[in-house]
Amino acid sequence: MRKKIVAGNWKMNTTVAAGKELAKDIVAALGKVPKDVQLIIAPPFTHLAPVADVIKGSAVALSAQNCADKAKGAFTGEVSAEMIAGVGCTYTILGHSERRQYYGETSDTLVAKMALALENGLSPIYCVGEMLSEREAGNHFNVIKAQLEEVLFGLSAEQMAKVVIAYEPVWAIGTGVTATSEQAQEVHAFIRKTLAAKFGDLAKDITILYGGSCKPSNAKELFACPDIDGGLIGGASLKADDFIAIAQSY
Ligand code: PGA
């Protein structure tokens, strides 16, 4: 049985004080969330240690939004997977489209990040997704296939079992435009089929999240799809009520 996950990607939002409040509100509302739904929050690096204190002992898990592609040393401004794990994270987002688009992240960098995250006991939430132009050109399946193959196909089955996938069509991120549940399900099924070709039955156990303008009003329909196992939530994860309402959509 694969895990159901609702993860909040806070991106570069909130101060530490506001982030602690948000985490506190989420913990306080946990009783309203179905027990089999794993909540994850991914605050900015500066917030990880203080937020870890707030969620300590609760069922909320902590994630980073990225990690360095090097283990340690003279890499000014970078934060390593070991450091992230050391403050209590059990997950890290990798390959978010904003990292690929604005910070030049390539599959090669992501292979290195993936290896370091896994070595340090983190479960990577690996993001894939096509740009609008790629969908309009009918090329989205090829783009997603390449993103999966280039970064995940070198992993062992044991490593792959720790990875969570997030399908985030770039045209749906922060735009208010959500993929229809049919569009999302079609890609999720394709992702599972692509993973099955390499990893066999393990693909059935891989959690695949949908991300891109997911909100309380559309989460129910999306999560009802057979291959959608939860959501990676940006904007709507910054309000505890909305985030919890999305988790209640199961
Ligand atoms: P959004 O972001 O929910 O604000 O569209 C999702 C994401 O980028 O993870």
CATH code of 54's domain: 3.20.20.70
Pocket lining: 40 vs ligand 1, CB cutoff 6 Å: no
| pLDDT score at 17 | 98
- What's the distance, CA 85 to chain centroid? 16
Ligand 1, atom 3: closest residue by C-alpha: 234
N- to C-terminal Cα separation, the chain: 15
Q: Is 126 helix (H, G, I), strand (E, B) or coil?
A: strand
Specify the pTM: 0.98
* Each residue's pLDDT expressed in tens, for the chain with a length of 250 residues: 899 999 999 999 999 999 999 999 999 999 999 999 999 999 999 999 999 999 999 999 999 999 999 999 999 999 999 999 999 999 999 999 999 999 999 999 999 999 999 999 999 999 999 999 999 999 999 999 999 999 999 999 999 999 999 999 999 999 988 899 999 999 999 999 999 999 999 999 999 999 999 999 999 999 999 999 999 999 999 999 999 999 999 8
| pLDDT score at 32 | 96
Give Cα separations from 241 to 22, 26, 101, 168, 216 (angstroms).
Answer: 10, 8, 30, 22, 9
Tokens encoding 244: 């919890």
CA of 187 to the centre of ligand 1 (A): 17
What is the CB neighbour count within 10 angstroms for residue 106?
12
Question: For residues 242 and 198, is the Cβ–Cβ distance under 8 A?
Answer: no
| pLDDT score at 176 | 87
Burial degree of 76 (CB within 10 A; 0-12, 13-18, 19+): exposed
Burial degree of 53 (CB within 10 A; 0-12, 13-18, 19+): exposed
Pocket lining: 230 vs ligand 1, CB cutoff 6 Å: no
Pocket lining: 154 vs ligand 1, CB cutoff 6 Å: no
Of 47, 96, 140, 188, which residue is the catalytic one? 96
Owning domain of residue 178: 4-248
Could you give the number of structural domains in the chain?
1
Task: Select from 164, 173, 222, 239 the residue to mutate for testing ligand 1; criterion: most ligand atoms less than 8 Å from CB.
Answer: 173
Of 98, 105, 168, 188, which residue is the catalytic one? 168
Instruction: Using alpha carbons, select from 93, 48, 44 the residue that is nearest to residue 66.
Output: 93
| pLDDT score at 113 | 98
